[in-house]
Structure 1
Amino acid sequence: MTILDLKRQFSRFLTSEPDRLHFAAHSHSCWPDASQAGQQQAWEDAAKLIDGKWGHVLGAVLPGAQGHVARQLNLPDPESVVFAPNTHELVTRLLSCFPAGQPIRLLTSDSEFHSFARQVARMEEDGLVQATRIPVAPFDTFAARFAAAAKAGGFDLIFVSQVFFNSGFAVEDFSGIAAAAGEAMLAVDGYHAFMARPVDWSRLASRAFYIAGGYKYAMAGEGAAFMHCPPGWGERPRNTGWYAAFGALSAAQDSRTAYAETGWRFMGSTFDPSGLYRFNAVQDWLERDGVTVAMIHAHVRALQDRFTAALPVGPLTAAQLVVPQDQPRGNFLTFELENAAVVQQRLAARKVVTDYRGTRLRIGFGLYHTAADVDALLERIQDL
């Protein structure tokens, strides 16, 4: 596999602290220089258009971002994509689609990200959700076990990650889960997969929601979370902002609150559009230079292979990898360490940025890393 060298495209972030090795590309990727042009354009449009900027944002910037998402996910209709400042906003709108007065019967995993897991846990306290959680481990049987639970039926919502944030394990095929979902709404958290692994959602576009955003591997920063909304599912979320009426019929047939039929039915209200500007600028750069997600993932896997080939190094061994090397995974490696917090802190003292979750140390590899960066990382870990 080929290791790319695109460090020059990230000069502003990488030269701000030249001795720093940023290996948390799974949490906050460095932004390419192209994103600065997007940020500046957002300010200039605001200055030039003032109140009139919203016609441009909603008529050109947002549709442009929808088009980029649709291209990356191979969606049939860009208008199925809705944006929000963060995924929590989108999750709470999904949860508001179900009838009041009875708990939402939920099937999920034991390893979902906090924006969903915390919200569900709080709703359980008030009897608003009845959750069934399937353990992700052992990885090699997860998809089959999860599909079997879905097939047993009795669920209103099925929510599961494509790549799990606390391990990096990736579910490669959702066809079995989708087939077993029955009448339940199906939603997939794709944040750790979008722009990290090639994703073709065309076969599931009419069936499953897909949630991700620009903060991590899309390298565009905050404020550009999105959700693909399959037609006919979740038509009237209770949590709704006035933008959700855009495109709705001018006169509702039955005096009920009107909604758009596209992904706009999940829109909220006024938002900071600068994240969409940055997202578009980064996507335009990648498309212009012919950099595909397949190339990004191959680049990262080559870096990961270079890293793991050197194990054991310092406190890290291959036996500590949470996801074995023969299992599908995302663009970060996770190590099970009793002293993960201590190792992370010692690496930080050596200007190596990683992170940890409990007893798991995460090391993320990105488009701005080279083979030399991996070798430098290995040297600093060896010094621990």
Structure 2
Amino acid sequence: MQDFDELAMALQPHYSHFNVANRLLFTGHSHQAWPDVAFAGIQEYMRVVADRVDTKWDVGFEKTEIMRNYLRDFYDDPDGYYCREQNTHVLLVSWLSCYDLKNKPKVVTTTGEFHSMSRQLSRLDEEYLDVVEISHQSDEELLEGIKTELDDKTSAVMVSRIYFETAEVNTKLSEIAAACRETGVPLMIDDYHGTNVVPLSVRDAGLEDCFILIGGYKYLQWGEANCFLRFPKSFDKRPVITGWFASFETLDQPQSGGPVQFDVGDQRFATATYDPISQFRAAEVVNFFRKQGLTPDVLHKQYQSQVAYLTELFKDGNKDSYKIERSHHRPIEETGGFLSLKSPHARTLRANLLAKGIYTDARDQILRLGPAPYTTSKQCEDVINELFTEAAKL
């Protein structure tokens, strides 16, 4: 038994709907199983809607606040605002619309960003933005490259804390933030693969004036439609892309034709009507995590132990003929919550494993194996053995 087995086996009975004890679910980096309490949240939503009808929103907002408080605790960030939306894409688009992109068209980013950011920036670059992509493979070179690109035409810097393909941790965020601060350029940090995996104190890291994108679909186990944009309370710019939920408290006031108003508080980047069932589901998961003692440090240790074990198993069993290798060789301290492998057959391997009921994930030549807190060492051994079985056939 490995040191992470005790917690994994204690958690598995709480995920009976997903049957995690008897399945090889290694898309924890993309979609983790939901604990059984999530279904109780869905049932509660139905009862509230039936009872409250159109006055259900206050209850939904209470559920959202439960999630916000969890994030404030995780990020050691009691003073940050957290805007909830259905996905990170609408949040980053609303945020970008705050800035003078016409006169300052440069946006600096990296070659390792997730599709929500990279696709949108690429499309904007085709039209009128000057998007500068800097290689993410060396943190030191990335830092120097960003510094070089910061000038009076730069509207924003947009980078990840943990890269979605390789799980490499960006170790220079504090220095990047300092450089942006010195030049007056806002910094957006995509932390979809950092939340609940690698602890981060916003205060200790000097990121109080930064913006952080957070998604609930992966390591938070909140499911779809629970994303957040963390922003500083001092932020007073008005998004051009905006919906009426950004001024929910003033809906009863006359539409005077004056400047568009925004509520004071978390929802500055909000859009419009959504299905609040996701908040009921997620709030139950938050309470479950707290009850199980799944603190940032506990989760960090669990992921590090699991990824380290997967890495050890892969190194011990890999052969040259398999044509598969690790995508990087950073120490475990600079690695997020999954093992990233590189192979020209990555998508074929993923498809062949899925045909056996084994869930992994592939992006181009990258195969990702993502455990979750409920993943045991035996399941790690089984997925690596099955990977090599399939690799040997190619």
Q: Is TM-score (shorter-chain normalized) higher than 0.5? A: yes
Larger deviation: 239-248 or 88-97? Answer: 239-248
Residue 349 of structure 1: how far off its partner (Å): 2.2
After superposition, the Cα gap between the structure-2 partners of 1:87 and 1:141, relative to the gap in structure 1 and judged at 3 Å, is same
Give CA-to-partner distance per residue, 1:172-203, whole Å, 9 cap, x none: 34221111002111110000101111121235
| Structure 2 counterpart of 1:61, one-letter code | K
In structure 1, the partner of 2:208 is 206
Runs of 5+ consecutive residues of structure 2 not aligned to the other structure: none
Residue 253 of structure 1: how far off its partner (Å): 12
Residue 64 of structure 1: how far off its partner (Å): 1.9
After superposition, the Cα gap between the structure-2 partners of 1:46 and 1:149, relative to the gap in structure 1 and judged at 3 Å, is farther
In structure 2, the partner of 1:236 is 238
| 1:280 paired to 2:279 | no
Alignment check: 8 A CA contact 1:196 1:330 kept: yes
Partner Cα separation in structure 2 for residue 146 and residue 14 of structure 1: 47
Give CA-to-partner distance per residue, 1:48-107, whole Å, 9 cap, x none: 11111112222x2222222111111111236x1110010111011011112364453211
Larger deviation: 218-227 or 40-49? Answer: 40-49
In structure 1, the partner of 2:317 is 313
| Structure 2 counterpart of 1:297, one-letter code | H
SS at structure 2 position matched to 1:12: coil
Which of 373, 377, 383 aligns to 2:383? It is 377
Partner Cα separation in structure 2 for residue 163 and residue 347 of structure 1: 26
1:31-70 matches, cutoff 5 A: 31-58=34-61, 60-70=62-72
Partner Cα separation in structure 1 for residue 200 and residue 216 of structure 2: 15
Give CA-to-partner distance per residue, 1:219-238, whole Å, 9 cap, x none: 11101000111133362000
Which of 17, 42, 50 aligns to 1:12? It is 17
Residue 205 of structure 1: how far off its partner (Å): 5.2
| 1:259 paired to 2:265 | no
Partner Cα separation in structure 1 for residue 99 and residue 150 of structure 2: 20
Give CA-to-partner distance per residue, 1:285-306, whole Å, 9 cap, x none: 1112211122122112212222
Residue 152 of structure 1: how far off its partner (Å): 5.5
In structure 2, the partner of 1:161 is 160
Which of 297, 302, 315 aligns to 1:299? It is 302
Give CA-to-partner distance per residue, 1:89-147, whole Å, 9 cap, x none: 101101111236445321111111111111111112221x111111011x352453345
Partner Cα separation in structure 1 for residue 51 and residue 254 of structure 2: 35
Partner Cα separation in structure 2 for residue 235 and residue 131 of structure 1: 22
Alignment check: 8 A CA contact 1:206 1:230 kept: yes
In structure 2, the partner of 1:343 is 349
In structure 1, the partner of 2:248 is 246
Number of residue pairs matched?
378
Alignment check: 8 A CA contact 2:98 2:239 kept: yes
Partner Cα separation in structure 2 for residue 276 and residue 205 of structure 1: 27
Give CA-to-partner distance per residue, 1:331-351, whole Å, 9 cap, x none: 011111011111112211222
| 1:189 paired to 2:194 | no
Alignment check: 8 A CA contact 1:24 1:353 kept: yes
Sequence identity of aligned pairs in percent?
A: 25
Residue 153 of structure 1: how far off its partner (Å): 5.9
Alignment check: 8 A CA contact 2:79 2:232 kept: no
Partner Cα separation in structure 2 for residue 103 and residue 147 of structure 1: 16
Alignment check: 8 A CA contact 1:252 1:258 kept: no
Alignment check: 8 A CA contact 1:75 1:205 kept: no
| Structure 2 counterpart of 1:62, one-letter code | T
SS at structure 2 position matched to 1:169: coil
In structure 2, the partner of 1:132 is 132
After superposition, the Cα gap between the structure-2 partners of 1:108 and 1:116, relative to the gap in structure 1 and judged at 3 Å, is same
SS at structure 1 position matched to 2:90: helix
Alignment check: 8 A CA contact 1:35 1:282 kept: yes
For the aligned residue pairs, the C-alpha RMSD in angstroms reads 2.6
| 1:360 paired to 2:392 | no
Larger deviation: 310-319 or 31-40? Answer: 310-319
1:41-120 matches, cutoff 5 A: 41-58=44-61, 60-77=62-79, 80-99=81-100, 101-102=102-103, 104-120=105-121
After superposition, the Cα gap between the structure-2 partners of 1:217 and 1:315, relative to the gap in structure 1 and judged at 3 Å, is farther
SS at structure 2 position matched to 1:108: strand
